[in-house]
Amino acid sequence: MSPTSTQRLLIVDDHPLFRKGVMQLIALLPEFEVVGEASSGEQGIELAYKLAPDIILLDLNMKDMSGVDMLKVVKAAGLEARVVMLTVSDQAEDLVAALRAGADGYLLKETEPEELLVKLREVGAGQVSITERLAQQLARSLRTDSPPREPDEAGLTDQERRILDLIALGMSNKLIARELDIAEGTVKVHVKHLLRKLNLRSRVEAAVWAVEKKKARQP
Amino acid sequence: MSPTSTQRLLIVDDHPLFRKGVMQLIALLPEFEVVGEASSGEQGIELAYKLAPDIILLDLNMKDMSGVDMLKVVKAAGLEARVVMLTVSDQAEDLVAALRAGADGYLLKETEPEELLVKLREVGAGQVSITERLAQQLARSLRTDSPPREPDEAGLTDQERRILDLIALGMSNKLIARELDIAEGTVKVHVKHLLRKLNLRSRVEAAVWAVEKKKARQP
DNA sequence: GTCCATCTACCTCTTTGGTGGTAGGGCGCG
DNA sequence: CGCGCCCTACCACCAAAGAGGTAGATGGAC
């Protein structure tokens, strides 16, 4: 039940080398464990049933079937796995199709390894994660299903939002406490809560998140 | 000898209320101490001599003389104080004039209080700090003097730059160590060094700095 | 060759950050 | 009225971060 229990992954891609690369990469993160790999859509579906993974990394372009098709099968089967599409295509149509089919993430294969890890954790936390920032908005408008799990970007209380801003300015809890004239321990409480609500793991992530959100609003 | 020895401030502004407001604000930061305030340019020059402050907060528009004029006097006198211009004017000419005269900072009075504190610390660390991001580039091209103290934005080694990027992704030192296959202690060393070079105080500031730099390059 | 910067590693030490729990006062809602 | 939410505050505990120091290995510059 703990929020950081290890996530079980299934990798589906017809490029063995790519699979190995991703596995090696994921091995860096202790919270993830690769429990299976498939080299085709058919095998992928089979393993998805058998292993019931938490997350499926799914190639969009496979020889025997489209990743979107496999995605549809998986989702239609009622499997609870979140599915992250991995692809070389940055075509909007592919993205839209994947999201309509219920993808929880859409990442380009050229993504930086570190970026991929970060995105993976986002998806693991229940977020919908897309490489392109703009596509993110597009995603929300298209997805009619799964309304319950959203990053609750606006669910912060006033005080939490204020503290988040101060974190983004690089202030320590102690300084924030002086600024708001409350106890440092109280600041910690608010930080703890806002991290939970935003599915973030540290004040550093919170700061980055806040900055990127601000930039996204006024470009 | 601690790198955060308190900085002595002189405030020059003909609005008493504004002076008080700034003083109250600055009282929040333990590393700064207001040692004097002046309500005119003439008095400001006198106190600048007498008190030899580390930083002078200087109103651009005063009744008896322009802030730029006082700035020139102070700089010509060989005083080592860094001077931060405070103004309501966002006119480029004023900014240029102030920078030509040797200002180390140029902040608008409508600046958010927290922002002002952050900028103050930047100036305290030897940076030249300007409110407008765009003006910052403009500033560097105009300033022919004081080439020694610059944020050294490019002075990082490859490893330091790599680690900075990972920090900006929210990774802990431990994760960075795994990613780069080096010891965590070694990561700390690099972090320590890059914080020094960039005049930053924490990994949070480093992360924000990196993100904003990236956004500034590709808007 | 020496000098110097870099990368690596390890050490101690203090501060900061994050989690868990408890708890009281204020405030709106049913 | 009680209930839930928010804000506040405190506690203990452990992990992480940052400062300081020493030091060996490399490789390029002089």
Span CA (B186) to C1' (D21), Å: 14
State residue A47's pLDDT score. Answer: 93
Structural domain including B107 reads 7-135
Structure confidence by residue, pLDDT tens digits, B41-80: 889 999 999 999 989 999 888 878 888 888 888 877 778 8
DSSP H helices in A105-183:
113-124, 133-142, 158-168, 173-180
Query: Is any Cβ of chain B less than 8 angstroms from the Cβ of A69?
Result: no
- The answer to whether the Cβ–Cβ distance between B29 and A175 falls below 8 Å is yes
Residue B2 resides in a domain: no
Tell me the three state secondary structure of residue B89: coil
CA distance B211 to chain A (A): 7
DSSP code at position B201: S
Span CA (A183) to C1' (D11), Å: 14
- Are residues B111 and B32 both part of a single domain? yes
Residue B141 resides in a domain: no
Residue A33: phi, psi to the nearest 5?
Answer: -145, 125
Query: Is any Cβ of chain A less than 8 angstroms from the Cβ of B205?
Result: yes
State residue A36's pLDDT score. Answer: 93
CA distance A33 to chain B (A): 16
Looking at B103, B135, B167, the residue that finishes a domain is B135
Residue B80 resides in a domain: yes
DSSP assignments along A74-85, one per residue: HHHTT---EEEE
pLDDT by residue for chain A (219 residues), tens digit each?
A: 334 467 899 999 988 878 888 887 787 777 788 999 999 888 999 999 999 998 999 998 887 888 888 888 887 777 888 888 888 765 555 666 676 677 777 777 766 666 677 778 767 766 555 554 324 333 333 332 332 233 445 578 888 988 998 898 888 898 888 888 899 999 999 999 898 888 788 999 889 888 887 766 655
Strand D–CB B3 distance below 7 A: yes
B203 token code pair: 């990994």
Residue A2 resides in a domain: no
Torsion of CA B24, B27, B28, B29, to 10 degrees: 140
Strand D–CB A109 distance below 7 A: no
Query: Is any Cβ of chain B less than 8 angstroms from the Cβ of A115?
Result: yes
In this model, does residue B166 exceed pLDDT 80? Answer: yes
User: In this complex, how many residue pairs, one in chain A and one in chain B, have their CB atoms less than 8 Å apart?
Assistant: 67
Contacts of A113 in chain B (CB under 8 A): 179
- The answer to whether the Cβ–Cβ distance between A208 and B168 falls below 8 Å is yes
Q: What is the overall mean pLDDT for chain B?
A: 75
The amino acid at residue B118 is V
In this model, does residue B148 exceed pLDDT 70? Answer: no
State residue A3's pLDDT score. Answer: 41
Query: Is any Cβ of chain B less than 8 angstroms from the Cβ of A118?
Result: yes
- Are residues A155 and A121 both part of a single domain? no
Tell me which residue in A168, A178, A202 faces B170 most closely, judged by beta carbons: A202
What global pTM score does this model have? 0.50
- 10 Å Cβ neighbour count for B80? 9
CA distance A15 to chain B (A): 23
Return the CATH number at A211: 1.10.10.10
The residue among B211, B180, B206, B178 whose CA lies nearest residue B194 is B206
- 10 Å Cβ neighbour count for A3? 11
Q: What residues have CB less than 8 Å from A17, skipping those under 6 apart?
A: none
Residue A42 resides in a domain: yes
A68 in Cβ contact with A47 (< 8 Å): no
Instruction: Give strand pairing partners of A7.
Output: A32
Domain count along chain A: 2
Please, which pLDDT band fits residue B187 given cuts at 50, 70 and 90?
Answer: very high
B199 sits in the region (left: phi over 0; alpha: psi -120 to 50; else beta) called left
DSSP assignments along B179-196, one per residue: HHTS-HHHHHHHHHHHHH
